[in-house]
Homo-oligomer: A and B are copies of this chain.
Amino acid sequence: MAMLLESMMRHAIRRGSLDVITHDGKRFRTGDGTGPDLAIRFTDAAAQRALLRNPDLALGELYMLGRLVVEDGSVADVLDLMLGNLHGRPYPAASRARARVRKLVRQWRQMNRGARSRRNVAHHYDLDRRLYDLFLDADRQYSCAYFEHPGQSLDDAQMAKKRHITAKLAVEPGHRVLDIGCGWGGLGLYLAEQAGADVTGITLSEEQLAIARGRAQERHLDRHVDFRLEDYRNTRGNFDRIVSVGMFEHVGVGFYETYFQQSARLLAPDGVMLMHTIGRIDGPGSNNPWVEKYIFPGGYIPAMSEITASIERSGLIVTDVEVLRLHYAETLKAWRERFMARREEAAALYDEAFVRMWEFYLAGSEASFRCGDIVVFQVQLAKRIETLPITRGYIAEREQDLRRREAVPLRLAGE
């Protein structure tokens, strides 16, 4: 069994190096001996067996439970090494039959009808609000920031993200904007304050809703921002702009057409939509089972071909696709560093296993973005070919305008 483990680990690590200490104290080195010293240790034989049986699920579980211990380096370093080695291997061309079966399984797992969607959302977003305070920026932006230059702070990069999205939406004062998956309300408040929009933000998380509403009241924006507990499938009305950031990952492949058709119904004829989602680069695939079980039940990271196929059937037109590479790796790095600096507080809120789970989630996600398996797609959509300017120059111009506006005092309520 130890031989099997050694063979598996040697297969997994070719470049860089990782020492493995088995439960009975034996030690072997994998990889080519380059890179920093990293070592992991198994506390028991059953842990080694579990990793062999189902590595994708067990790696995270064993780390959470403290049965796989990182002795030298951090779990982030280990995951970066492992995913870096995995990446760049030839993509296995799945047979059509296998691909079909995989698609069915995926659709079943992601049957995110109303009640299940709410349960899935509660699993993650109804966690104690103090947890999110430990690692997010001051505005609680729980999605990929936009780093305009190296070394930009997380808070500035999250502000830049809101500005970039607002610019791409070409929002005008008085526009009715729908924010599908509004989170704690930061983007909605920005759209109202800086662009003069009338915002409807919808979420399925009661925790998020309570905080978002509280913030709108505090900032005297409740006449311009309406946060609601609502499933996007139940929304009615007509909106000049629709924005949806980090929500599409929860829609489920079986509902992509529903999502875009519903968006097309809600969008005014001259409307513009911006959909911001994590995306996979190597085509339709399946979820990581550990992430599915512990972090995002019902979630799925879409390929561009899956997104565009659904859009083409909706009556919407893709007018621009920006592919944000590495921005999320930087965001997750910042989150992890902030979280680890306050890990005692997290442990006091939950327990050590939770802290390791969260660390593993942040580190694993960062490694996936770093090695280029996943990226972020910002897909801009319209209904009419002539809705937006024909070159992209307006985006930078509007960002410049917004930057100036951010510098002056905010309007009072009712203004």
Contacts and interface: CB of A to CB of B under 8 A. Distances in A.
A321 interface: yes
A146 B393 CA distance: 13
B319 A325 contact: yes
Contacts of A320: 321-323
A308 B270 CA distance: 27
Count chain B CB atoms within 10 A of each CB in A371, A384, A385, A392 and give the residue with the most: A385
A324 interface: yes
Contacts of A312: 281-284, 303-305
13 contacts: A148-B391, A281-B317, A283-B313, A304-B312, A305-B309, A317-B323, A317-B372, A318-B323, A319-B323, A321-B321, A321-B323, A324-B390, A325-B385
A325 B390 contact: yes
Contact of A385 (B90, B147, B305, B326): B326
A93 interface: yes
A385 B309 CA distance: 24
Contacts of A148: 391
A384 B396 contact: no
Nearest to A314: B91
A76 interface: no
A386 interface: yes
A251 interface: no
Given A323-B319, A384-B372, A283 B309 contact: yes
Interface string A299-311: 0000111001100
A49 to B, nearest CB: 35
Interface string A336-374: 000000000000000000000000000000000011100
A86 to B, nearest CB: 14
A285 to B, nearest CB: 10
Nearest to A160: B391
Contacts of A391: 146-148
B315 A91 contact: yes
A390 B322 contact: no
A319 B281 CA distance: 10
Given A91-B315, A303-B308, A325-B386, 5 more contacts: A90-B315, A93-B313, A317-B372, A325-B388, A375-B385
Contact of A304 (B308, B327, B384, B385): B308
A342 B16 CA distance: 67
A91 B375 contact: no
Interface in A276-301: 281-284
Contacts of A386: 325-326, 372
Contacts of A90: 315
